[in-house]
Structure 1
């Protein structure tokens, strides 16, 4: 690997949007660490797909909300590739339900992953990402769309947006950009689960482009922020086809 090769760590990269992001960054010439929480086989599939396309990748694991586990994951990336230039944090949990009956234990579990997990990964990124690098977190367009049933999830993503914008300013002088991507309805297994075709069609029709987003659509936005988009900093980029 050339000393000029950029290195990316993508959390939650064993499937869905995370996998698309990992593969896209690898296609852009980065060496990629594919992070997973529990599904090693799926992460290995992502690594294999990158290697088959003549890219360079490894798999790393760890609970994103566990600071020791994530420190070891970052250590593993640095041992393998010599440093870290880009951190993309896609890992998250989505539990839905109305406020009036939402289970508070479920709220705590989701916020542990989505809020604390983002903070832990951002903290490691702030300590380790090299100058010229980028940090990309994940919010959701539901923070603006306010779909019923999404209050607990959107609340956590609002916290992600807040910490992302603050971190961008805290890294002043280090030539590191920090942004959040906020996808709209995107055709992933997580999103489609439990929805009938009528519900899917209704959501697809909301965009002026009249379709759901794809993981590749979201990966395009991340690739811009992780690569040429150096003058975009401290922003929430809504990748939703024009819904909001």
Structure 2
């Protein structure tokens, strides 16, 4: 795999779980990393990830911001560019999960889900297109529910689905600068975000739908990110479903 010496990456929601692992693995390949986080409660995790990036021999900064506000997205890219001289890789792992019937979903829940899963993704891609150096890489984490036929996840899958259209358009619009734009759709992931939305019986059902009767792990997904930003640069405009056979198109 190619190294990333001299490159700089932004990882949105990069403090912990999947984002944290991606931050560290990019650093291990030589990239400097801007570790973004949202809530104050994630600050200690961001500090730990920054320390891990630096232990891998790369430079790091941490940045707190609400990426549903386009000004915060711009500030994230500007701060990173000023600190490291440019930006080459932009990975957005931001997401919010809600399992709730349509008849019980409030307007406030709808607005929040689309702000986090759709609006933030749009302006992250937009700012990446403005800020990345030629040959850059943009990746958004979506969900394998985009290929599922199921109940309950109307605002989660619905909020993530526009990102496929954003990605296709951006990959065409940024192509003359050799910037690739892709999505990764994990299956249900074994992280703290998943379990509050499901009953034990449904967790077992989700496991039964994938190879090995298990959930997707962050270790399944992070190497796909590193591939797309190194040797997989010819892939663009795609959504890669990485879910052990949980769903397919």
User: What band does the TM-score fall into relative to the shorter chain?
Assistant: over 0.9
Q: CA deviation at 1:194?
A: 5.0
- Alignment match, 1:58: 61
Q: CA deviation at 1:199?
A: 3.0
- Alignment match, 2:227: 224
- Alignment match, 1:78: 81
Distance in 2 separating the partners of 1:53 and 1:191:
30
- Alignment match, 1:19: 20
Aligned length: 242
- Alignment match, 1:102: 105
- Alignment match, 2:238: 235
After TM superposition, the structure 1 stretch with the greater mean CA deviation from structure 2, 199-208 or 87-96, is 199-208
Q: CA deviation at 1:157?
A: 0.8
- Alignment match, 2:33: 32
Return the match for 2:191 from 178, 188, 191: 188
In structure 1, the gaps of 5 or more residues are: none
Q: CA deviation at 1:207?
A: 0.7
Q: CA deviation at 1:229?
A: 0.4
Return the match for 1:43 from 46, 53, 60: 46
Which runs of at least 4 in structure 1 moved beyond 6 Å after TM superposition?
none
Distance in 2 separating the partners of 1:95 and 1:212:
18
| 1:138–1:160 Cα contact (<8 Å) kept | no
- Alignment match, 2:11: 10
- Alignment match, 1:69: 72
Matches within 5 A, 1:147-166: 147-166=150-169
- Alignment match, 1:117: 120
Q: CA deviation at 1:14?
A: 1.5
Distance in 1 separating the partners of 2:122 and 2:94:
12
TM-score, reference length from structure 2? 0.92
SS at match of 1:69: helix
Q: CA deviation at 1:40?
A: 1.7
Q: CA deviation at 1:197?
A: 4.1
After TM superposition, the structure 1 stretch with the greater mean CA deviation from structure 2, 95-104 or 84-93, is 95-104
SS at match of 2:9: strand
In structure 2, the gaps of 5 or more residues are: none
SS at match of 2:57: coil
RMSD: 1.6
Distance in 2 separating the partners of 1:116 and 1:143:
17
Residue 179 (structure 1) aligned with residue 176 (structure 2): no
